[in-house]
């Protein structure tokens, strides 16, 4: 029997179905899948990227025709560029929470797919770096969600994932409910970069960005370590008037 006939028979019998990574409902893909975490059509729409106007320097949603938010005009971030997939709300927020607090590692593959979609237009780096956790926090949770997402992006791109380039030098301090000034005080000297970061172009990967003070600290450490360029890749950006379990 010809191959195309076999494929049609397979599809008609319902044997070509794939289970959606997010909602777990079986579906039959209309085309060949190239994602590591396949989504059904309904979840593709629910988890679509955000195309609304955003600040070019920090990805904060903007409701005006300006290209930079007030904070970035007065206090530009230290990174060389940023790419954010969506907003920390709806199903994207739920996927992030299922990974972070539920330990659903299939969500890391899904979120890695999201980052891959926004990273294809960026100049390739020498290495990927995930925002690290302090060993005390890592032992308590058992994994670093940013590292798991970066690992999924590594599988897509083949770009080396370097956990040795950046370390968290101080334990995590809860940031929820703190003012931006208090967050900045908490994150001073939070990270240390390895000398091996010198002259490297890097993608710094994190799951969620709220005020950006943690990412600023990480990027400054990489810059102090001699990194040539650092682009920030985040799955979700939190509007400043929204609650968030992150910093």
Q: How confident is the model at residue 195 (pLDDT cuts 50, 70, 90)?
A: very high
In a domain, 242, yes or no: no
Q: Are residues 11 and 58 in the same domain?
A: no
Q: Which domain holds residue 35?
A: 1-46
pLDDT digits (tens, 9 = 90+) for 141-186: 889 999 999 999 999 999 999 999 999 987 655 555 666 666 666 6
Q: Pairing mode, if any, of strands 229-237 and 18-19?
A: unpaired
Half-sphere exposure at residue 108, Cβ-oriented, CA atoms within 13 angstroms:
23
Q: Are residues 153 and 128 in the same domain?
A: yes
In a domain, 244, yes or no: no
Q: Are residues 2 and 104 in the same domain?
A: no
Give the residue from 25, 46, 67 where a domain finishes: 46
Q: How confident is the model at residue 239 (pLDDT cuts 50, 70, 90)?
A: confident
In a domain, 243, yes or no: no
In a domain, 226, yes or no: yes
Q: Are residues 76 and 170 in the same domain?
A: yes
pLDDT digits (tens, 9 = 90+) for 102-154: 999 999 999 999 999 999 889 999 999 999 998 888 888 889 999 999 999 99
Q: Are residues 106 and 91 in the same domain?
A: yes
Please state the pTM of the whole predicted model.
Answer: 0.85
Q: Are residues 38 and 54 in the same domain?
A: no
Q: Rounded mean pLDDT of 35-54?
A: 92
Is pLDDT at 37 greater than 80 in this prediction?
yes
Q: In this structure, what CATH number is given to the domain that contains residue 57?
A: 3.40.50
């Amino acid at each position: 029997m010809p191959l195309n006939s076999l494929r049609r028979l397979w599809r008609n019998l319902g044997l070509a179905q794939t289970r959606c990574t997010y909602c777990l409902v079986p579906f039959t893909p209309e085309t060949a899948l190239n994602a590591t975490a396949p989504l059904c059509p309904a979840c593709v729409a629910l988890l679509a990227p955000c195309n609304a106007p955003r600040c070019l320097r920090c990805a904060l949603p903007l409701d005006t025709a300006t290209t930079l938010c007030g904070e970035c005009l007065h206090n530009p971030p230290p990174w060389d560029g940023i790419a954010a997939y969506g907003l920390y709300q709806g199903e994207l927020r739920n996927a992030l929470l299922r990974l972070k607090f539920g330990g659903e590692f299939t969500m890391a593959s899904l979120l890695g797919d999201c980052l891959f979609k926004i990273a294809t237009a960026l100049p390739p780096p020498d290495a990927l770096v995930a925002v690290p956790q302090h060993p005390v926090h890592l032992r308590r949770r058992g994994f670093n969600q940013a590292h798991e997402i970066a690992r999924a992006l590594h599988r897509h791109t083949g770009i080396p994932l370097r956990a040795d380039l950046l370390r968290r030098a101080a334990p995590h301090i809860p940031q929820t409910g703190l003012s931006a000034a208090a967050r900045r005080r908490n994150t001073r000297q939070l990270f240390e970069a390895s000398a091996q970061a010198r002259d490297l172009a890097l993608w710094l990967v994190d799951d969620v960005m709220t005020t950006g003070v943690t990412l600023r600290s990480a990027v400054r450490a990489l810059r102090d370590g001699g990194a040539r360029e650092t682009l920030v890749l985040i799955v979700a950006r939190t509007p400043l008037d929204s609650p968030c379990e992150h910093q």
